[in-house]
Chains A and B, each alone.
Chain A
Amino acid sequence: MTMTAIWTGMVAISILCGLATGRGPAVAAAAAEGASAAVELALSIAGMLCLWTGVMEVMRRSGLADGLSRLLAPVLRRLFPQAAKDRDIMDAISANVSANLLGLGSAATPLGLEAARRLAGRSPGTASDALCMLVVCNTASIQLIPATVASVRAAQGCAAPFDILPAVWLASGVSVGVGIAACKICARIWRT
């Protein structure tokens, strides 16, 4: 229901605000533009998405993902106690987290969705605590190298575009920590 409220609210506010500020026609044009931009975006990520699900399949069959999973498993088991016994789910979550760490967003999404599908199968329609944690971990950035931002800074003539790295790590760490804490607290007080 959250997305229903957000989406309906966004559309209603745009129309009210657009009419009040005399930008009605612009809002109307934007509605059509947004829909086609969505398909363009989907097409623009299609190649990378397919490539990385392919690479992950190779990694999975070669046992590489298992190795990565083992490295991350002790930490992730604490975050996902409900799924800790299911190896397939923990493998997908571990691979999702490691792809996020490397900044491979297009690789992380299919892996995260795989984990989400398995988690959702246990409680159809309602987000379980583990699924909420997975989504919150994916909405917080844990990327070690923010390459896109660094390239924007470099384009503006910055001599050391990566000098923001410590600040980014500090801010990301605090943000992810608060997200995880919020999930753990909510899981106790916000029962299904």
Chain B
Amino acid sequence: MDLFFTMLIPLILCFVALYAAGRRVDVWSALVQGAGSGLETLVRIVPALVGLLTAVYMLRASGALELLAQALAPVMDRLGLPSELLPLMLVRPVSGSAALGVGAELIASYGPDSELGRTAAVMLGSTETTFYTVAVYFGAVGITRTRYAVPAALCADLTGFVASAWAVRLLF
């Protein structure tokens, strides 16, 4: 099964190429033209990325995240969320790589089969980098009035965290 997941991407490439060639599509020129439009997309998302990552790095270096963790501890107890996982929850919507780093550290220190380690893994697997996604999408299409998109997305994230903690307790 692990091999299947490893091979998933090359298998998709192969399947698409064979299928398209079978339907007499010029696979090569389609691939190259599509890749060109990917580069245009990339150029459009770089400005948003520069802005967001600058702020995220500053926030991390300032120690503000740890302070927030202390302040939010009472609320977390109410929701059944272990306070050890707060740094992960704070970082998760903002930076995917930082969240993976924090999560990997939690899994390493509590063990992958502990309740905390499992909850951290489920949280990582069931949520996304919300602010990054919002910045990329609205930045790329020039939307400045985002209306309820951010609160609704954060609502889904918070639900995902609480559901992760509950799901691990329920299933293990």
Nearest-neighbour CB distance to chain A for B159, whole angstroms, equals 4
Q: Which residue in chain B gives the minimum CB-CB distance to A34?
A: B57
Q: A residues within 8 A CB of B56?
A: 10, 34
Among B63, B103, B155, B168, the residue within 8 A (CB) of A18 is B63
Interface assignment of B130: CB less than 8 Å from any CB of chain A: yes
Q: A53-B34, A139-B130, A164-B121 are in contact. Are A158 and B60 (CB under 8 A)?
A: no
A71 close to chain B: CB less than 8 A? no
Query: With an 8 A cutoff between CB atoms, is B1 at the interface?
Result: yes
Contact (Cβ within 8 A) B46 A38: yes
Partner of B163, one of A132, A146, A174: A174
Q: Note all chain A residues with C-beta closer than 8 A to B142.
A: 120, 124-125
Which B residues between 117 and 136 are near A, CB-CB below 8 angstroms?
Answer: 117-118, 121-131, 133-136
Note all chain A residues with C-beta closer than 8 A to B12. Answer: 55, 102, 104
Which residues of A1-46 have CB atoms within 8 Å of chain B's CB atoms? 1-4, 6-7, 10-11, 13-18, 21, 23, 26-27, 29-31, 33-35, 37-39, 41-42, 45-46
The answer to whether B145 and A50 have CB atoms under 8 Å apart is no
Rounded to whole angstroms, the CA-CA distance of A110 and B148 in the bound complex is 23
* Contact across chains for B136 and A171 when beta carbons are under 8 A apart: no
Q: Are B145 and A125 in contact (CB under 8 A)?
A: yes
Give the complex CA separation of A92 and B51 in angstroms.
27
Question: Total interface residues on A, using CB and 8 Å?
Answer: 103
Number of interface residues of B (CB under 8 A): 103
A117 to chain B: closest residue by CB: B141
In the bound complex, how far is the Cα of B23 from the Cα of A166, in angstroms? Answer: 38
Nearest Cβ on chain B to A32's Cβ, whole angstroms: 8
A55 touches B31 (CB 8 A): yes
Main secondary structure of the interface of B (DSSP, over half): helix
Contacts of B134 in A (CB 8 A): 2-3, 135, 139
| Interface pair A141/B62, CB less than 8 Å apart | no
Cβ of A167 within 8 Å of any chain B Cβ, yes or no, is yes
B72 within 8 A of A: no
Could you tell me which residues of chain A, from 107 to 156, have a CB within 8 Å of some CB in chain B?
A: 109-110, 112-113, 116-117, 119-120, 124-127, 131-132, 134-136, 138-141, 143, 145-150, 152-153, 155-156
Chain A's interface: helix, strand, loop or mixed, by majority? helix
Q: Indicate whether A84 reaches chain B with its CB closer than 8 angstroms.
A: no
- Known A-B contacts A62-B20, A116-B140; A126 and B147 likewise in contact (beta carbons under 8 Å): yes
Interface, chain A (partner B; CB < 8 A) = 1-4, 6-7, 10-11, 13-18, 21, 23, 26-27, 29-31, 33-35, 37-39, 41-42, 45-46, 49-64, 102, 104, 109-110, 112-113, 116-117, 119-120, 124-127, 131-132, 134-136, 138-141, 143, 145-150, 152-153, 155-158, 161-162, 164, 166-168, 170-172, 174-176, 178-179, 182-183, 186-187, 190, 192
Apart from A61-B26, A64-B19, 13 more pairs, CB < 8 Å: A1-B145, A3-B138, A11-B55, A14-B61, A31-B57, A38-B54, A46-B42, A57-B30, A127-B147, A146-B121, A146-B124, A152-B100, A179-B153
